[in-house]
Structures are given as structure tokens and as C-alpha cells.
Amino acid sequence: MLKVTKFGGSSMASAEQYKKVRDIVLSDPARRVVVVSAAGKKDKNDHKITDLLYLCYAHTRYGVDCGQVFDMITSRYFEIRDALGLQVDLETEFAVLKKRLDEKAVSQDELVSRGEYFSARLMAAYLGFQFVDAVDWVKFKMDGSVDQPASYAALRRQARGEGVVTPGFYGLMPDGQVHTFSRGGSDITGSLAAAALNASVYENWTDVSGILMADPRIVENPQAIPEVTYDELRELSYSGAQVLHEGAIFPVREKNIPLNIRNTNAPEDPGTMIQEQFDTDADPSRFITGITGKKDFSIVSMTKRGMSNQVGVLRAMLSVFERHGISIDYTPNGIDNVSVVVPTESIAACLYNILAEIQQEVRPDSLDVHDQIAVVAAVGRKMAFRPGISGKIFAALGQAGINIRMINQGPDELNIILGVDNRDFSRAIQVLYDSFAK
């Protein structure tokens, strides 16, 4: 059995965190592949190494000396190395890098990738594992997408040791240049490694005990979700906190490898398990997986009498939005009425044009815009075919005096979407959480 583990920036931020990582890795012999991020913040006032590297690059680009920032970066690594008593010659590598930087001989991608590179060098030494550089296995195609077969084959060839540490976030372009993923991309590297090696699980270690049932800025101390499917996760992350880089889903999903979000600071917590589907139900009394939402939507609502008997009215309305390049979130409708729900920001610039065009092309009996709408989504795969869930939702909101402005439920019954006034947003989330969390 093989588990691929990925440790995020907060897990790599200090020598103490390295110790926790080591304890976690060594406590399970299956944890033989370790993907690491660059050092993150030790505390609120600290800086992420990756941010400092971007800053360093910006300095040199504009001809400003980056010596001070560079020293901040190197001192973080020296601190960790020395506190752990590791014998890794960072001095020489840093000197070479600084020289190349001064000569403007380092690309931005290469420079920012060094955060992960040095993390991995130190962690490999600390664990006594083999260091496999990401440029030796993560292969990009010219269009910037990952060449999965080539990358998988390369990692299988490279990872010969008993244990392997590899840096996240970057790889190699066909022209030999270092290329990085977008921010947070070490999650993708971990997922690729898990897929390459057919791991039994991809463990993504971070600083929360999994994906939370609701936004902790709204609900105090929300529970972590024990099990979530990929489809639910997509619904939850569309409007909620992003725990994982979106690109991290595909490689493991393709190979049906479960993804487990874990907390380096609370390794005994089981975290959140993400899978295509769950054959058994660990918790049959839990109906709602999570509650999420976003504020600041607009509802463009049109009524046209007799619309239900006419062909093409809906298309005519929607094509106006399409012409303006507006992506539509929901289209709740009645017999002679249809509403289009979009983020206010996305239509602000062209709203009056859109309304004028709808007037002209669709000739509605009425056309209104409602602003300050929040969308709240109760997500749960187990809602399907289970009567009473929406009743419970509406009762809870009704009792709290929250007016529902819109209701939408997809045919897959994966979520119930409600529109409420912006001012009721937080309360709606709290009320739903209180009625469904256990």
C-alpha cells in the first residue's frame, strides 16, 4: 500500500512544523511519497516564502536591489535547517541563485519555484528520503497543460527509494524552462504523484481538520465534513471557501483515488474524505453535507404572458446575456416568467444594455431587476429521493423570519439553492447549520 502525502505551506513554516510532518510520515509506513509546499506563514505577521520570491523578482525586474528580501528568504531556510541539525549546504546554492538573479538570468517561474525546491531538499534530508526534483518528472506541454503519461512514467522511473520527497508547484516545459502552476498548485503536484503511483489515497495535509460544513467566519466552530463526493465538493467550493486547488481534483478522480484532507496540527482528526461515491453510509442521519453561499447577486426577472406556449422566448432572453459574455448562474422559472440570476458585479457594466435588448427582442410584459440578493446552497447527495429535507429548510428559515426570494433545485437533487436578501445571508447560513449539523 502506498499513500501520497502533500504538506501545505503552514505545515512547512518552521522547524516545529517539520517535526510534526516527520511524526505523521513516519507513523505510517505506507506514507512513502511526500510532496511539499514552500514555507508559509509561521504566524499572522509572517510572510509566505512564495510571496517574498515574487517580490524579489519584481524588485530585480525594476532594477531595485532585492538583497533584503532575499535575506529574509534564506534566513527562514537556515533557521529550519539549523534548528533540525541538518547538514545541507544551502549557502552555495543560495549564492549561485543570487548571482544569477543579479544577472537577470532567472525567470519568474524558476525563482518562485525555489520555495518548494528548498523545502523539499530540507524535508528529504530530515526524513532520510530520496529527493526527486519536480523538473525531473512533472512535464508540461507547450500549451502549459501537464503531459500526464510522460510525467507519470518519469515519476515511476525516478521514485526508486524507500521514501521520496518531491517539491510541489512546478515542473519543466519542453524547452527546458521551469514552469509553475497557478498559486496553490502544489495540490496538483500531489494529485499527479498519487495518480502516477496508483496510490491508495492522496492525503492533503493542511491546517484545518477537513472541509468545514459552513464558513467559520459565519458559524462558530463548524464541524468538519467527514465524507464528501466530488460532485458535492464542486457545489460547495463554487460558492464557498476554496480548500483545494481546483486542478488537484482531476488526476486522482480519473483514477478513483480517494483524497483525504487532514490537519498537520491535529493528526488524530480523520479530516474529510473525498471520493466519487461512498458505498456505505458512515453516518445515515446526516442529510446535508454542507451549507454555503455568496452575496451580491442580481435577479433579472421577466414575465411574458402566454410564454409557456411560445417557442424560443427563453432562448431569446438568454442569448442577450450570451452576447454580453455573461455567465448565468441560475434560471428559476414559472409558467410565464423566467428569472436569470447572475453576480451583480458581472452585469454592472452592461445591465442597461441588456435590459434594453430584452425589451426590444423579447417584448416582455414586465421586466424587473432585484439587487442585493444572496444565494445560499444546502448541498447533500443524500437529499435525493428523501422527502422532508426542503420542508425542514423552509420551516427553519420561516421560523427565523427569513424571506426566501428564490428557490432552485436541480434534477439531481444534489443541492437546494435559495435566494435571500443580502442582509439575511449570515443568519440564513447559521439557521441552516443549526438545523442540520449534529
Binding site for ligand ASP (CB under 6 A): 8-9, 37-38, 48, 50, 115, 168-169, 183-187
Task: Report the distance separating Cα 355 and Cα 368, nearest Å.
Answer: 9
We find the least distance from the C-beta atom of residue 210 to ligand ASP, in angstroms, to be: 18
If one counts every other C-beta atom within 10 angstroms of the C-beta of residue 409, the result is: 16
Cell reading at 178: 521551469
Q: Choose between 169 and 330: whose C-beta lies nearer to ligand ASP.
A: 169
We find the least distance from the C-beta atom of residue 245 to ligand ASP, in angstroms, to be: 7
Q: Choose between 206 and 272: whose C-beta lies nearer to ligand ASP.
A: 206
We find the least distance from the C-beta atom of residue 437 to ligand ASP, in angstroms, to be: 30
We find the least distance from the C-beta atom of residue 177 to ligand ASP, in angstroms, to be: 18
- Determine the residue with CB nearest ligand ASP: 186
Task: Report the distance separating Cα 392 and Cα 224, nearest Å.
Answer: 22
Polymer length in residues for the chain:
438
Q: What is the DSSP letter of 221?
A: S
Q: Choose between 75 and 359: whose C-beta lies nearer to ligand ASP.
A: 75
Positive or negative, the CA dihedral 290, 291, 294, 300 is positive
For residues 196 and 151, is the Cβ–Cβ distance under 8 A? Answer: yes
Q: What is the DSSP letter of 403?
A: P
Q: Choose between 38 and 417: whose C-beta lies nearer to ligand ASP.
A: 38
Q: Choose between 14 and 289: whose C-beta lies nearer to ligand ASP.
A: 14
Q: Choose between 117 and 321: whose C-beta lies nearer to ligand ASP.
A: 117
We find the least distance from the C-beta atom of residue 40 to ligand ASP, in angstroms, to be: 7
We find the least distance from the C-beta atom of residue 36 to ligand ASP, in angstroms, to be: 9
Task: Report the distance separating Cα 290 and Cα 137, nearest Å.
Answer: 37
We find the least distance from the C-beta atom of residue 5 to ligand ASP, in angstroms, to be: 14
- Residues whose CB falls within 8 Å of the CB of residue 307, separated by 6 or more in sequence, listed in order: 313, 314, 335, 336, 337, 338
Q: Choose between 184 and 251: whose C-beta lies nearer to ligand ASP.
A: 184
For residues 270 and 211, is the Cβ–Cβ distance under 8 A? Answer: no
Looking at the DSSP assignment, which residues form a beta bridge with residue 204?
6, 261
If one counts every other C-beta atom within 10 angstroms of the C-beta of residue 140, the result is: 22
